Amino acid sequence: MTNSDSGRGSSRDLLHSDRTFDFSGPKQLWQGFGQDFKELTRRDRQFSFMIRAKDLELDVSHGPILYLDGLNVSFDGFKAINELNLYIDAGELRCVIGPNGAGKTTMMDIITGKTRPDSGSAFFGQKIDLLKLTEPEIAEVGIGRKFQKPTVFEHHSLFENLELAMAADKRVFPTLLARLTGKERDRIDEVLGIIGLRELARREAGTLSHGQKQWLEIGMLLMQDPHLLLVDEPVAGMTHQEMERTAELLTSLAGKHTVVVVEHDMDFVRSIAKRVTVLHQGSVLAEGSMDEVQNDPRVVEVYLGE
Amino acid sequence: MGLLQPLKGDTGGQIMLAVLALIAILVPILNLLVPEGNPLHVSTFTVTLLGKYLTYALLAVAVDLVWGYLGILSLGHGAFFALGGYAMGMYLMRQIGDRGVYGDPLLPDFMVFLDWQQLPWFWQGFDQFWYAALMILLVPGLLAFVFGWLAFRSRVTGVYLSIITQALTYALMLAFFRNEMGFGGNNGLTDFKDLLGFDLQADGTRIGLFLASALALALGYWACRWVVTSKLGRVAVAVRDAESRVRFIGYRVDRVKLAIWTFSAVLAGVAGALYVPQVGIINPGEFSPLNSIELVVWVAIGGRATLYGAVIGAVLVNYGKTVFTGAFPEAWLFVLGGLFVLVTVFLPAGIAGLLKTLRRRRAQPETIQREATT
Ligand SMILES: Nc1ncnc2c1ncn2[C@@H]1O[C@H](COP(=O)(O)OP(=O)(O)OP(=O)(O)O)[C@@H](O)[C@H]1O
Ligand SMILES: [Mg+2]
């Protein structure tokens, strides 16, 4: 069919190509087709239903790994996010602070696909449009999230928690037939080491202390080999010692990963942050080093005025 | 070795299967070889009763798979059981041939009675056992697949899901009650004569059906263990405990649910297909919402999320039912309800949970004592 003239003609229409074909030989003809199809698939990158998320590649050649532009979200008329612009560089460790209800958790909900914004754009690297991907697809392209309330799988051991979180083929039948390889065991063991819970590998996660659950959650994030980690209030309810260990853990992750931390505890933020972003009423109020931000009169007003 | 892998660490299941094997060997001997006057003789009536319990046990295992391990409280599994039963019933009806009351070589009695001239299209093929066997798997499986696809994709969970499963079985019951549906209306399908050429009234056939039920239970149990000990089984438990967390990790929760849910429905269908030739009838009453609720109670009493607990619960409760309905038929529902309340309050992990605690206490009495005193 494609070898007949009519076939050729209709294919050209289909591709909307204004290229004139050189009919001198079949070889050139096929090359022409090849290029056209390449173009077709590239243009189609915008339509997420045509491609699998893991085939998307992260492009951070221009610096930032996360671009949030002009985002707006309202719940029943209440503007939780208001013209929010935020850029995070690859490898950065960024703290986001702000009073209760500032929209920090909602911002993470948008990035991870849980909440859809009313308007605005959210890009991961240069090319990946987060607003066109589903929650699991966003996890697949390399964004991991730790929730405000730690949720680990209480009836699974620590080892199993990490096993489930591991980057793998997560479709039903491959999961049914999956067997742990030696390499995967080593990786789980390594992460257990990073979060300092190696001795408890066989314990049921439900029996862990609050702080230990938070670390396990971070470990589960690491198992997915994410490029970007979103960490919501990691030290809430932790003892001072646990807080110090968490600070060490998060700083050790920056560089290899990009880490965005939402936190209320100022001492903790000071101990880890290079750059701090202050959110207020759904948009960025100030950005800079901890000292700059703390001396910004608007920030002082927001924090002390309430 | 690989075949025994799913049973590793499942002491309760190993004991249950050993008992099942023992019964499967002893009962035929005591029925066929021990003469009737002997006190050790097992009557054919008892054989059939036991066979019926085993099909209930398989049904309970199917329910426990989705409820215990996936967190879906199905109040409609009776529907899949009944559909499997109807598929078998249709085969048995066609086996009657011209031996029915009206002697029509093709049409079952109830169709002749309704003055139907020809066999409806969906009755075609049921004269072949292989076709009926295929339908026994396919019809409950397909219904579960379509239902699950719609429900899980739109993220219906919890009580709402339970209610629509209940509505599903209720709707099917009403439909099957109608004569025009072509399944025998409220009389259902009955007066079966033989199965694969074997007389259904013969002792040998009864023993055969009993053994088939035992085998189906053993295989079904093994298959469920295989699923729950796989990584998919661990994902299922994670879905039960923290569904949205699983979604964030990147699993397609709807697909995980759909696969296990459909498999469970197929098991329920097989159980129904083995049940019908043993009790000799299938009617729309099997779709009754109460049936589906009752079998959830079996699982709760036996102990959720253990699989063997479901077997214990199904057999014990139904034995109790047999004894009780003989003595005080009206009281049974109250007894069952009371039992359910008692177990929920005092034995939240069911009989299986009680057995586990007892075993642990025997194994390490000092530690328990220490725990108790502190
Ligand atoms: N699903 C929702 N429906 C309605 N309102 C919501 C919803 N989610 C968030 N909000 C509102 O949006 C605002 C921002 O909430 P968000 O949880 O993002 O704040 P936050 O900065 O994380 O606060 P906190 O420091 O208390 O965690 C709050 O006023 C909250 O009540
Ligand atoms: Mg929050």
pLDDT tens, residue order, chain B (374 aa): 478 889 988 989 999 999 999 999 999 999 888 888 888 888 899 999 999 999 999 999 999 999 999 999 999 999 999 999 999 999 999 999 888 888 888 899 899 899 898 999 999 999 999 999 999 999 999 999 999 999 999 999 889 999 999 999 999 999 999 988 999 999 999 989 899 989 888 889 999 999 999 999 999 999 999 999 999 999 999 999 999 889 878 899 999 999 999 999 999 999 999 999 999 999 999 999 999 999 999 999 999 999 999 999 999 999 999 988 888 888 888 888 898 899 888 888 999 988 888 888 887 655 544 444 43
CATH top-level class of B5-373:
mainly alpha
What pLDDT is recorded for position A26? 44
What share of chain A in percent tops pLDDT 90? 48
Who among B242, B251, B259 is closest to A170 (CB)? B251
Inter-chain contact A224–B250, Cβ cutoff 8 Å?
Answer: yes
Please tell me the distance in Å from B209's CA to the nearest CA on chain A.
32
Q: Please give the share of chain A, as a percent, with pLDDT higher than 70.
A: 80
Specify the 3-state DSSP secondary structure of A30: helix
Q: Please tell me the distance between residue A74's alpha carbon and the centre of ligand 1 in angstroms.
A: 10
- For ligand 1, whether the C-beta of A97 sits within 6 Å is no
Please check the confidence at residue A30 and state whether its pLDDT lies above 50. no
Which residue, among B106, B115, B86, B133, has the nearest Cα to B284 in the 3D structure? B86
Contact predicate A306/A300, CB 8 Å: no
| Minimum-distance CB partner of B241 among A135, A153, A165 | A153
CA B90 – CA B32 distance, rounded (Å): 30
Q: A54 phi and psi, to 5 degrees?
A: -70, -15
Question: Chain A residues with CB inside 8 Å of B251's CB?
Answer: 136, 170, 175
Q: What is the DSSP track for A183-219? A: HHHHHHHHHHHHTT-GGGTTSBGGGS-HHHHHHHHHH
Mutation for A interface: B5, B231, B254, most A CBs within 10 A: B231
The pLDDT of residue A32 is: 41
Q: Are B13 and B7 in contact (CB under 8 A)?
A: yes
Nearest neighbour of A140 by CB, restricted to B230, B237, B250: B250
How many CB atoms lie under 10 A from the CB of residue B187? 15
pLDDT of A250 > 80? The answer is yes
CA–centroid distance, residue A80 to ligand 2 (Å): 12
Q: How far is B284 from chain A (nearest CA, A)?
A: 35
- Whether A231 lines ligand 1, by a CB cut-off of 6 Å, is no
Pair A108, A232: CB distance under 8 Å: yes
Q: So what's the pLDDT on residue A305?
A: 58
Going by pLDDT thresholds of 50, 70 and 90, the confidence category of residue A21 is very low
Least Cα separation, residue B223 to chain A (angstroms): 12
Check pocket membership of A101 for ligand 1, CB cut-off 6 A: yes
- Mutational pocket test of ligand 1: of A78, A96, A105, A306, the residue with most ligand atoms within 8 Å of the beta carbon: A105
Asked if A165 and B241 come within 8 Å (Cβ–Cβ), the reply is: no
Which residues in chain A are closer than 8 Å to B353, comparing Cβ atoms?
none
Please tell me the distance between residue B220's alpha carbon and the centre of ligand 2 in angstroms: 46
Q: Which of B352, B364, B355, B277 is nearest to B61 (CA)?
A: B352
Cβ count near A188 (within 10 Å): 22
Tokens of B116: 């139907």
Domain boundaries of chain B, sorted by first residue? 5-373
> Does residue A4 have a pLDDT over 70?
no
Taken in order of first residue, the domains within chain A and their CATH numbers are: 3-50 (no CATH), 54-304 (3.40.50.300)
Cα torsion A124, A127, A131, A137: sign: negative
The dihedral sign for the CA sequence A168, A174, A175, A179 = negative
Q: How far apart are CA B223 and CA B155, in angstroms?
A: 27
Ligand nearest to C-alpha A146: 2
State yes or no: ipTM above 0.90: no
pLDDT score at A54: 54
Rounded Cα distance, B64 and B295, in Å: 10
